[in-house]
Chains A and B, each alone.
Chain A
Amino acid sequence: MKLAEPRLSYALLGLSFVLVTVSLLMIFIVVPTEATMGIIQRIFYYHVPVAWVAFLAFFVVFVASIMYLWKRDRKWDTIAAASAELGVVFTTLVLITGSIWAKPIWGVWWTWDARLTTSLVLWLIYVAYLLVRSYIAEEEKAARFAAVVGIIGFIDVPIVFLAIFLWGTQHPSPVIFDGGLAPTMLATLLISLAAITSVYFLLLLRRIAIKNTEIELNNIRQLHD
């Protein structure tokens, strides 16, 4: 895996570059302006994929956490930690792009709507996950405790969403799969989704590589002491 990693990273870097370029061309030149919302609607082509990928990132944390507790292989912990950091970054982007869209459309930066509130709670849960990691010095213990939080946090998400949804929603409901989206719009969305997903995996690989280097450096330092 060590030898293949740089090559895979370069391949993903190239793929991300091409996909992001194409998606930006689609968003700003090819796709028509939406009739009722106007130009601001174009942010949706990044907002929605980023939200999906943030969720994917937390799902990866969940699976890697289970695998870590089961196999006790440090590899899984590194994946979980890297993916949690990315998930928090992507959720932050979702909250920011959503606010930029909401201001001209709803007239406010923020409203306590189900999807918004769930994203915020999700963000808080995974910030707590990162804090738990940082408050434990022993690496094996940090990995174990983080895995527990990674599992509990993800299981909580559907219950949080259910409760907040019942509590009240005003977010536009997804129109993506019931034919409510023009073909070019759907194509733009899918290309953006591919672009963001590719960027996620690229960043994940790089973050894991950096973490592995950190671990190696620590080992060398301990040998010298």
Chain B
Amino acid sequence: MKYISEFRDRKVAEKLVAEIRREAEDFREGCIRIMEVCGTHTMTIGKFGIRKILPESIRLLSGPGCPVCVTPDTYMDTAIKLSRMKDTVIATFGDMMRVPGSFSSLEKEKAEGARIEVIYSPLDAVDIADRHPGQGVILLGIGFETTVPAVALAIKRADEQKKRNFCVLSGHKLIPPAMAALLQDRDVRIDGFLCPGHVSTVIGSHPYEFIPQRYKIPCVIGGFEPVDILQSILMLVRKIARHEEPSVEIQYKRIVKSEGNIKARNIIDDIFCRTDSEWRGIGNIKDSGLAIRKRYKFLDAEKRFPVAVKRSGRRTSCICGDILKGKKTPAECRLFGRSCTPENPVGPCMVSSEGTCAAFYKYEGMR
């Protein structure tokens, strides 16, 4: 697989690990804590066992990088109620099927007869609306800035074709505001950020500038293969161990430009505006979500089908909030691997296959 296999080369990975060891050797100020904020980074780190080959002085933390995990109960409950409406098809990414709301899940609703279609692309949802003019298609818009342009294109297409049987329930969230919220928590200690390569393909490197400027923490925008992740860690460790001036660097240069994809951002701005958003496990973060603009209100499921949902009063011993902020690891949660497993997830970090707890359970074993 061109441009993938070369970045999985074992010999290169070993050399990078050796370099990281050399740089970290002389760092005497305790361990170096690097946080990634992308579910795909969480997965790759788990899948390739990267934690195990790094020196003990380097701690890899998983932040709130899983959009499925941070989707609140209120969104899922709304989606489930919409799925129960007559002549309705819910179009969703596969990631959402097993996410529990406060009383059900899409998977359970499908077993009860609800029309729920798993799609690979948001444009497929517009095709479903085409093929079934008598059905109302509601696309669940979940995902960070990588996915938002695709959903925006779907809304644009439906608008241009004046489709009346298609709309989107937006649950989109933005990464930089979440990173800012994390950094405002005094208990959170992060020495470096591994920034999400594909989100950055859209937004560029400038939105992260506040992190080195205000908080003196270096950032590296990294790709997703083991060699990319190791090289990104090396770049961060060098900055930290050598006490160099922190900045935002791009490791994933073959894809990411510092200005990002302007066309993609323009279409996002056309369709969406910023709004406050609830992040499961963290709480409300100002201007961290996207709502569909008024001029596209016929394509906004929230406006077309207002549904009353109660805020969930569930209280559990789940410590996902602390795990999402990198304050604790899954192993430190009493429920992990016992009452909270991938088959029966209690908290958001176990719900999605690339949530921190799910990745730990799947790849690191139960420890």
Q: Do A and B assemble together?
A: no
- What residues make up the interface of B, taking CB atoms closer than 8 Å to A? none
- What residues make up the interface of A, taking CB atoms closer than 8 Å to B? none
